[in-house]
Amino acid sequence: EAGVAQSPRYKIIEKRQSVAFWCNPISGHATLYWYQQILGQGPKLLIQFQNNGVVDDSQLPKDRFSAERLKGVDSTLKIQPAKLEDSAVYLCASSSSVSSYNEQFFGPGTRLTVL
Amino acid sequence: AQKVTQAQTEISVVEKEDVTLDCVYETRDTTYYLFWYKQPPSGELVFLIRRNSFDEQNEISGRYSWNFQKSTSSFNFTITASQVVDSAVYFCALSMGATGRRALTFGSGTRLQVQP
């Protein structure tokens, strides 16, 4: 079974530029999460999708961050414009709605550096 | 609000020593799930264990064991006879039991260094 795929793995941009990250969850997983992990900290939820609907985006900085999950499969996270404090690893995770345990499977992450 | 505290920022041990990683959580929910994840230098989070709030039995898996105590809101993780390959950052996490909002709340992690 293929795991969660993310691209790109690394991205370096200058502040005020735009950037987009892509995530392909495990096949059949209805729930998809985007987390932000700043160096030295634990991951923090940005947004949770159930199929193509948003369940929780309370911690998403909506003035600059946006995310979508068209057709309930792949997802894209965008930052526009980027700030220095957005430098972090962006992790995508997915889980099966059937499981009551909510075991989440994580992708390798995208490491973003904002200069 | 949920919160997970991992007070130990970094632990260094010599190979074959036993080590315990502490985790204390806060939640108002009566149904919740606790997790431990390992993050090796490669960066990918690796699932280790989950526990639901109704199951306080301790669990042992090889050199790993977990002690869940609701009375002290703790879910500690012990590695017996540590090995160099255990070097990683370990995260404790909590999720609600309610259907739908099951995102993980992570602690800040404990970096474990096992010296040969």
**A100's tokens:** 């009551």
Which is more confident, A36 or A102? A36
Residue of A50, A101, A108 with shortest CB distance to B43: A108
- B10-14/B110-115 β-pairing: parallel
User: Hey, is the C-beta of B106 within 8 angstroms of any chain A C-beta?
Assistant: yes
In chain B, which residues have their Cβ closer than 8 Å to the Cβ of A111?
Answer: 43
Nearest CA in chain A to B98: A100
Rounded distance between C-alpha atoms, residue A61 and residue A108, angstroms:
23
pLDDT of residue B53: 87
Residue of B101, B105, B108 with shortest CB distance to A55: B101
What is the least distance, in Å, from the CA of B107 to any CA of chain A?
A: 6
Q: What is the pLDDT of residues B68-114, one digit of tens each?
A: 999 999 999 999 999 999 999 999 999 886 655 678 899 999 999 99
What is the least distance, in Å, from the CA of B72 to any CA of chain A?
A: 22
User: Hey, is the C-beta of B107 within 8 angstroms of any chain A C-beta?
Assistant: yes
What is the least distance, in Å, from the CA of B84 to any CA of chain A?
A: 21
Share above pLDDT 90 across residues of chain A, in percent, rounded to a whole number: 80
In chain A, which residues have their Cβ closer than 8 Å to the Cβ of B103?
Answer: 33, 45, 48, 56
**B window 55-84, beta carbon within 8 A of A:** none
pLDDT of residue B97: 65
A103-107 own/partner pairs: CB under 8 Å, 24+ apart? A103/B47, A103/B50, A104/A33, A104/B47, A104/B104, A105/A3, A105/A4, A105/A26, A105/A29, A105/B47, A106/A4, A106/B37, A106/B44, A106/B45, A107/A3, A107/A4, A107/A5, A107/A6, A107/A23, A107/B44
In chain B, which residues have their Cβ closer than 8 Å to the Cβ of A105?
Answer: 47
**pLDDT band, very low/low/confident/very high, at B16 (cuts 50, 70, 90):** very high
User: Hey, is the C-beta of B104 within 8 angstroms of any chain A C-beta?
Assistant: yes
Query: A96, A101, A111, A112: best mutation site toward chain B, by most B Cβ within 10 Å?
Result: A101
Share above pLDDT 70 across residues of chain B, in percent, rounded to a whole number: 96
pLDDT of residue A1: 66
**A104's tokens:** 């989440």
Q: Per-residue pLDDT averaged across B11-20, rounded?
A: 97
Q: Tell me which of A66-70, B37-41, B58-62 is least confident.
A: B58-62
Q: What is the pLDDT of residues A49-104, one digit of tens each?
A: 988 899 899 999 999 999 999 888 999 999 999 999 999 999 999 988 655 566 88
In chain B, which residues have their Cβ closer than 8 Å to the Cβ of A108?
Answer: 42-44
User: Hey, is the C-beta of B47 within 8 angstroms of any chain A C-beta?
Assistant: yes
